[in-house]
Structure 1
Amino acid sequence: MSNPRPLEEEAYDMSGARLALTLCVTKAREGSEADLDALERMFQQLGFESTMKRDPTAQQFQEELEKFQQAMDAREDLVSCAFVVLMAHGVEGRLKGEDEQMVELESLFQVLNNKNCQALKARPKVYIVQACRGGYIAYRHDKEGSCFIQTLVDVFTERRGPILELLTEVTRRMAEAELVQEGRTRKVNPEIQSTLRKRLYLQ
């Protein structure tokens, strides 16, 4: 009888298609174009088919994700992994669309869950959310883009290793970077939540 392999050896099969969707409100968000450029470069390097939509309304956040899910389920080839990047102003648990209306993050996450998206059943789904959460400010620079997205792209394109290790490195670099905002020095920590059951290698 064979023993089950230890978790550290278990990795997701990444031989199939890799798909990415980025929804970004650029209005009144300086630096978001630099973030979009950086993400496009990252997805290209990591072998993702990438779709980007600028300035979605709250309803379009939902609709674009549903279109992404339907297109995935209609594919005949294997889908290995999906990345969804959501960038907007927001408050805890909600994002603000280009029309100033709010959309619940939870309803966006539901679109790709196992019940609603057959193509991604038991496959990794990664959500990157760059937004303020209540009093937690998501810092951006006018030309350079956001500290979070730029650091994430640097780490994901420079380093190899399972994604949770890469995200830990992103957090470490951001904690070390002192952001001077309005004359005051602040540190920013992204939050990582994971339900991955195996190791996810992008490189």
Structure 2
Amino acid sequence: MERSPGSGGRWERSSPPAPPELTPDVEELQSRVQETLELLSPQDLRNFRLLLKTVDEEPRVSPVKLELEGRKKAGLARLVAQNYCEPAASRVLVKVLRQLRRADLLRLWQGAADRGGIPRKILKRSYDCVDGELDRYDLSGSRKAFLMCVEKSRPGAHRDIELMKEWLGQCQFEHTACIDPNKMELLRKITLFRDGLNEIKGDVGCCLITLMSHGENGFIKMEDGEKVSLQDIFEMFNNKNCPALQEKPKIFIIQACRGERRDSGVETDDEPMESDDVSEKRRLPTFSDYFIIYPTQADHVALRHPRTGSVMIEAMSEVFKQYGNKWHIADFFTRVNNRVVHTEFHLHEEPIKVSLVMESTLTKSVYF
């Protein structure tokens, strides 16, 4: 016979079992995973759950658990932390973030996977503090880069190549190298590169061109001294000639002199820095979505050290190592410029100063 609370027998309400206590290491892992999830867009978060079902790391998270416990970020983080032990959890995050193309988060978890530990506290990127996603470019497509460098008679250029290849890899770019070309070889290779973009069209997310050589205002010089017009190269990738890049960012990093003038700077009272639609068819401007960075002002020399390489390239590498992909590209190069401007340089024992110059027709923010 059934008993009721008032029938004299003892009645107890059953309760779900208490969740297992978490060790400090699992708690810290869960915290880092949740920080990562907080930085994902709603679309990325949906894709994260889908990818988690297929990641080739045992034991896999069951679809039932994902449905029941992984709807919210906190539950999803707890599920990952409790299901995988380190370093398996870091490997899982690396595999998923690589497919999401979140290079800023990937490098932290990659470092943790390599060390067999848990990544440090994750910094928010500037757009992660802003609601909405309409003001940043969608870089989920392939990222293509063209890397040209004149190495002959440019001591330190080999270091520039090493640093740029490292940076491009960290930002998830596939790059095409072109080292010590003559004028015709450069134009042929960069035309093939542009035509390749047009062939894959819808799959391109971003294009980056790096040109490192001697130069003068408006031109770069090949290893045989022949000049190539920068404007001609820019035009190759405009909205008419490269429809694959319409409304997609086109980034140009130019490491070359722009003239012979030298800026020795001015003295200040500050302490010295430490050294060493009107038609039926929507229209676009011919030139849009460009970002061009120069290592110096017009008509001025650029600086390159025989051992450490070019000043701008070295500063890019240092800022990226310190902050990763935290900022929109213009803010990133503003940081780089800050470092360059406040560093003392000498040329033939005379003080010399440089300042980077940015030109932009971007319509959204660029986060790698």
Give the match for residue 99 of structure 1.
Answer: 224
Give the match for residue 318 of structure 2.
Answer: 154
Give the match for residue 108 of structure 1.
Answer: 233
Give the match for residue 53 of structure 1.
Answer: 178
Cα contact 1:91–1:134 (8 A) shared by 2? yes
Cα distance in 1 for residues equivalent to 2:190 and 2:239: 15
Cα distance in 2 for residues equivalent to 1:49 and 1:6: 31
Cα contact 2:141–2:203 (8 A) shared by 1? yes
Q: CA deviation at 1:60?
A: 2.4
Size of the alignment, in residue pairs? 198
The yes-or-no answer on 1:17 pairing with 2:181 is: no
Query: Which residue of 247, 267, 270 corresponds with 1:122?
Result: 247
Q: CA deviation at 1:152?
A: 1.6
Give the match for residue 281 of structure 2.
Answer: none
Q: CA deviation at 1:155?
A: 2.2
- Is the alpha carbon distance of 1:6 and 1:35 closer, same or farther for their aligned partners in structure 2, counting shifts above 3 Å? same
Structure 1 counterpart of 2:177, one-letter code = M
Q: Deviations over 1:58-103 (max 9, x none)?
A: 2222222111111111126511101100011111001111221111
Q: CA deviation at 1:43?
A: 0.7
The yes-or-no answer on 1:145 pairing with 2:270 is: no
- Is the alpha carbon distance of 1:8 and 1:79 closer, same or farther for their aligned partners in structure 2, counting shifts above 3 Å? closer
Cα contact 2:201–2:245 (8 A) shared by 1? no
Cα distance in 1 for residues equivalent to 2:161 and 2:216: 22
Aligned-pair identity in percent equals 34
What TM-score, normalized to structure 1? 0.92
Cα contact 2:219–2:230 (8 A) shared by 1? yes
Structure 2 counterpart of 1:200, one-letter code = V
What TM-score, normalized to structure 2? 0.52
The yes-or-no answer on 1:29 pairing with 2:145 is: no
Cα distance in 2 for residues equivalent to 1:152 and 1:6: 28
Higher strand content, 1 or 2:
1
If you compute each CA radius of gyration, which structure gives the higher value, 1 or 2?
2
Moved more, 59-68 or 183-192: 59-68
- Is the alpha carbon distance of 1:100 and 1:124 closer, same or farther for their aligned partners in structure 2, counting shifts above 3 Å? same
Structure 2 counterpart of 1:186, one-letter code = I
Cα distance in 2 for residues equivalent to 1:67 and 1:157: 32
Higher helix content, 1 or 2:
2
Give the match for residue 182 of structure 1.
Answer: 348
